[in-house]
Structure 1
């Protein structure tokens, strides 16, 4: 189970090392024809997310900083597990290690 923290503003959170702050896409609450879906049908988190902020990178074994592979604004594919939940008002964000991100989504 992941830890959860609460902050007043997401701008006050600056990821360290190779951490990446993301916000998962919200599931659709109604179909294209206008039928509202029950909460149970939309409670599974979507694997896609938008990168909000990234850390500077982590040092390798030689002490050189290896930058993160994604940047703010990128769309990414996340694993179905892991990350640390962060709540800001009604919005939820997650912190993942750069190496936990599965892919960058090209548009």
Structure 2
């Protein structure tokens, strides 16, 4: 099953948090921070949203940073995905 986002929505998947620090210390599950970097899996067409034209700025494959508590979490085929508005995406990681 695939998700096809509508309007200004974007489907993202969070990137796994690092399990070791730069100095080589292995982190336990509780010590890891929730990642805010995600990979874009699908992008809606944009269009008119709330009376304003929205042009999509992200594309499939981009790594992005999102607001910490944004979006709607869904589970599709065993994968945890998040559907967010483009406005909840703060930056593209290059």
Superposed structure 1 runs of 4+ greater than 6 Å apart: none
Which residue matches 1:55? 44
Which residue matches 1:14? 4
- Select the residue among 56, 60, 63 that pairs with 1:75: 63
Pair 39,99 (structure 1): closer, same or farther in 2 beyond 3 Å: same
Q: How many residue pairs align between the two structures?
A: 93
The whole-number CA distance in structure 2 between the counterparts of 1:83 and 1:66 is 18
Residue ranges of structure 2 left out of the alignment (5+ in a row): none
Q: Point out the structure with the larger helix share.
A: 1
State the shift of 1:18 in Å: 0.2
Residue by residue over 1:20-78, the C-alpha shift from the partner in whole angstroms, topping out at 9 and shown as x without a partner, is: 00111101234567654221112x3211111000100030526xx53311010111111
Moved more, 33-42 or 90-99: 33-42
